[in-house]
Structure 1
Amino acid sequence: MERSSQNSSNNPSQAQRIRSDQWHLGYLKAPDAQLLSRGAGVTVAVPDTGVQPHPDLHRNLLVGTDIIAGGDGNGQQDQNSHGTGMAGLIAAHGQGADLGALGIAPDAHILPIRDTPVDGRGDPEKLAAGIDFAVHNGADIISISSVGGAGIPLQRSIKAALAANVIVVASAGNVPQDSAVGYPASEDGVIAVGGVDRDGNRAAVSVTGPEIDVVAPAVDIYSTSIDGKYRKGTGTSDATAIVAGAAALIRSKYPYLPAREVAHRLTATAVDKGPPGRDDEYGYGVIDLVAALTADVPPLGFESVSAPAGAGPSTTAAGQRPGDDGSGATARGLATLGVIVATGVAWAVVARRRRRSDDPPPRISR
Structure 2
Amino acid sequence: MMASAQMRGGPSRELPMSHIPSIEDRGRPDGVGRPADPGANGLARAEQAQSERLSHVQRDKAEALARQYPDDYELDRNGALAIRGEVLVIGLSDKALAAAQKTGFSVVSRDVVDGLDLPMAVLSRSGWPLTKMIDRLRDIAPDSMVEADHVFSMSGAAWPMGGSGAPDANPGRAAGWRVGMIDTGSTPLPSTGARIHMVQQGFAPGGIVPHDHGTAVASIIARPALDDQANGPSGTLFAADIFGSGRRGGTAELMVRALGWMARQQVPVVNISMVGPYNGVVAAAIAVLVKRGTLIVAPVGNDGPSARLLYPASLKGVIAVTGVDTKGQLLPEASQVSRVDFAGPAVTAVRGISGRTVEMRGTSFASPVIAHHLAELLSAPDPRGARQAVQKLAGAAWKPKKGKSGLGSGIIGLAPMTSR
TM-score by length of 2: 0.54
Deviation at 1:9, TM superposition (A): 6.0
2:409 partner amino acid: Y
Corresponding position: 1:2 with 2:155 = yes
Residue pair 1:7, 1:232 contacting (<8 A) in 2 also: yes
Distance change (3 Å), C-alpha of 1:158 and 1:255: closer
Deviation at 1:124, TM superposition (A): 1.9
Residue 67 (structure 1) aligns with? 203
Residue 151 (structure 1) aligns with? 279
Residue pair 2:271, 2:296 contacting (<8 A) in 1 also: yes
Residue pair 1:179, 1:207 contacting (<8 A) in 2 also: yes
Residue pair 2:300, 2:313 contacting (<8 A) in 1 also: yes
Residue 214 (structure 1) aligns with? 342
Corresponding position: 1:44 with 2:179 = yes
Please give the alpha-carbon distance, in whole angstroms, between the structure 2 residues aligned to 1:149 and 1:39.
34
Residue 392 (structure 2) aligns with? 265
Deviation at 1:114, TM superposition (A): 0.5
Deviation at 1:46, TM superposition (A): 0.9
2:159 partner amino acid: Q
Corresponding position: 1:286 with 2:417 = no
- Aligned residue among 293, 296, 299 for 1:165: 293
Please give the alpha-carbon distance, in whole angstroms, between the structure 2 residues aligned to 1:260 and 1:162.
10
Please give the alpha-carbon distance, in whole angstroms, between the structure 1 residues aligned to 2:173 and 2:195.
14
Deviation at 1:156, TM superposition (A): 1.0
Deviation at 1:149, TM superposition (A): 2.1
Residue pair 2:156, 2:365 contacting (<8 A) in 1 also: no
Deviation string 1:314-365 (CA, Å, 9 cap, x unpaired) is xxxxxxxxxxxxxxxxxxxxxxxxxxxxxxxxxxxxxxxxxx976xxxxxxx
Deviation at 1:119, TM superposition (A): 7.5
Residue 353 (structure 1) aligns with? none
SS in 2 for 1:251: coil
- Aligned residue among 196, 210, 215 for 1:84: 215
SS in 2 for 1:149: coil
Residue 296 (structure 1) aligns with? none
Higher relative CO (Cα under 8 Å, sequence separation at least 6) belongs to 2
Please give the alpha-carbon distance, in whole angstroms, between the structure 2 residues aligned to 1:210 and 1:274.
21
- Aligned residue among 191, 213, 219 for 2:319: 191
Deviation string 1:111-166 (CA, Å, 9 cap, x unpaired) is 01000245897212211211111111121110111111222220011111111211
Deviation string 1:276-322 (CA, Å, 9 cap, x unpaired) is 9x94x1112112689xxxxxxxxxxxxxxxxxxxxxxxxxxxxxxxx
Residue 372 (structure 2) aligns with? 245
1:2 partner amino acid: S
Deviation at 1:229, TM superposition (A): 4.2
RMSD: 3.7
Question: Can you give the 5+ residue segments of structure 1 that lack an aligned partner in the other structure?
Answer: 26-33, 291-355, 359-366
Please give the alpha-carbon distance, in whole angstroms, between the structure 2 residues aligned to 1:215 and 1:43.
21
Please give the alpha-carbon distance, in whole angstroms, between the structure 2 residues aligned to 1:115 and 1:212.
26
Question: Can you give the 5+ residue segments of structure 2 that lack an aligned partner in the other structure?
Answer: 1-153
Corresponding position: 1:142 with 2:270 = yes
Distance change (3 Å), C-alpha of 1:112 and 1:56: same
1:170 partner amino acid: A
SS in 1 for 2:334: coil
Deviation at 1:269, TM superposition (A): 2.6
Residue 233 (structure 1) aligns with? 360
Residue pair 1:173, 1:180 contacting (<8 A) in 2 also: no
1:87 partner amino acid: A
Residue 30 (structure 2) aligns with? none
Please give the alpha-carbon distance, in whole angstroms, between the structure 2 residues aligned to 1:233 and 1:210.
25
Deviation at 1:69, TM superposition (A): 1.4
Please give the alpha-carbon distance, in whole angstroms, between the structure 1 residues aligned to 2:195 and 2:316.
34
TM-score by length of 1: 0.62
Larger proportion of strand: 2
1:283 partner amino acid: G
Corresponding position: 1:53 with 2:178 = no
The count of residues paired between Structure 1 and Structure 2 equals 261
Deviation string 1:193-250 (CA, Å, 9 cap, x unpaired) is 001111111111211222101101112x112422444331110001001111111222
Distance change (3 Å), C-alpha of 1:253 and 1:261: same
Deviation at 1:85, TM superposition (A): 0.8
2:358 partner amino acid: R
Please give the alpha-carbon distance, in whole angstroms, between the structure 2 residues aligned to 1:147 and 1:252.
27
Distance change (3 Å), C-alpha of 1:46 and 1:178: farther
Please give the alpha-carbon distance, in whole angstroms, between the structure 2 residues aligned to 1:106 and 1:116.
30
2:272 partner amino acid: I
Please give the alpha-carbon distance, in whole angstroms, between the structure 1 residues aligned to 2:161 and 2:365.
16
Please give the alpha-carbon distance, in whole angstroms, between the structure 2 residues aligned to 1:254 and 1:117.
28
Please give the alpha-carbon distance, in whole angstroms, between the structure 2 residues aligned to 1:255 and 1:227.
39
Please give the alpha-carbon distance, in whole angstroms, between the structure 2 residues aligned to 1:180 and 1:256.
29
Distance change (3 Å), C-alpha of 1:178 and 1:147: farther
Larger Rg: 2
Residue pair 1:48, 1:114 contacting (<8 A) in 2 also: yes
Distance change (3 Å), C-alpha of 1:185 and 1:196: same
SS in 1 for 2:316: coil
Deviation at 1:168, TM superposition (A): 0.9
